Every structure is written in C-alpha cells, then in structure tokens.
Amino acid sequence: MHSNSTPQWRIGEGHDVHRLAEGRKLIVGGIEIPHTVGAVGHSDADVLLHAVTDALLGAIAAGDIGELFPDTDEQNKDVDSAVFLTAALKLVLERGYHVSNLDCTIFAQSPKLSPYKQSIRERLAELLDISIEVVNVKAKTGEQVGPIGRKEAIGASASVLLVRE
C-alpha cells in the first residue's frame, strides 16, 4: 500500500479508568446512574464516553482525549463528556469516515449496570448518529479483584470500526 492511499476501514480502541468517591455523580455513557459514589475527574468523568472518544481518535490517528481536551484547561472543568465525543466524531466525519459499529465494555463491581445498558446503547447511538443495532454495551464486575473489584474505580473499553464514505 502506498503512503498516500487511504484505507477503506479503520479500527480504534479506547480505554479509561476513574477513581470513585463520594460527592460525585456517576455518569456512564451519558446516563446518570443512581449510586453512593461517582467517578472523579476534571470533566463529568464519564469513563465510557472517554473510552469511545479515544477509540474514535485512535481510529483516525488523531491522538487522544487528553491532547484535545487537557485536564489543565479550565474550559473542560465539569463539562459534559458528550462534548468530547461530538468533537471526535466531527473529526472522523471530516476525514471521510463513518462509524460502522461500536463495541464497549464497562468494568464496575457496583452498581449492577444491566438495568442501564439499553439506555446507554440508545444514548451512544444518538450521540454518534448511528443505528442502535450497531452499538453493543457489555458490563463486567471486577470479581472483587483490584481497584475495580474493591469498588475504588470504574473502567471502560471501546472498539470502533470506521468505514470510508
């Protein structure tokens, strides 16, 4: 393949982890989930939207969320992470790609996320302007191991396939 040819497909992967603490809202995939603790971060600390944003940026070789939206920038303080996702999607579209499918996993010992998976899928599909049929959300516990298993943290990973328009 020549260096100037553009690939038909691009795959991106994203991963994020946030500490959990009292006095914070727990927002996952753009959905507020009632819980005794929430994710700590400069923005709203939506671990899933951060992972999806990184997957989009990675697929187009555009760095990562911290480069585009540094936590040293006061403009990003407590901002809705959908802003980050929308900006990454705009870059994807400007480069001539669209999201073919998205597969995500959320890692949390508690709360149980099964009741929220459908709402999270719907919100992701809405934010990415894609069909819900191509959005998958899985939830896993930490099996009481490590910071996630001890309920000290929440994590997420995301894989995205982009297709050239």
Which SS3 state, helix, strand or coil, does residue 1 take? coil
Ordered per-residue pLDDT tens for the chain, 165 residues: 455 678 899 999 999 999 999 999 999 999 999 999 999 998 999 999 999 999 999 999 999 999 988 777 777 677 899 999 999 999 999 999 999 999 999 999 999 999 999 999 999 999 999 999 999 999 999 999 999 999 999 999 999 999 998
pLDDT computed for residue 4 by the predictor: 61
DSSP 29-80: TTEE---S-EE-SSS---HHHHHHHHHHHHHTT---HHHHS-TT-GGGTT--
List of E strands, 3-152: 9-21, 27-28, 31-32, 38-39, 97-107, 135-140
Q: How far apart are the first and last CA of the chain?
A: 19
pLDDT computed for residue 5 by the predictor: 75
Q: What is the pTM of this model?
A: 0.94
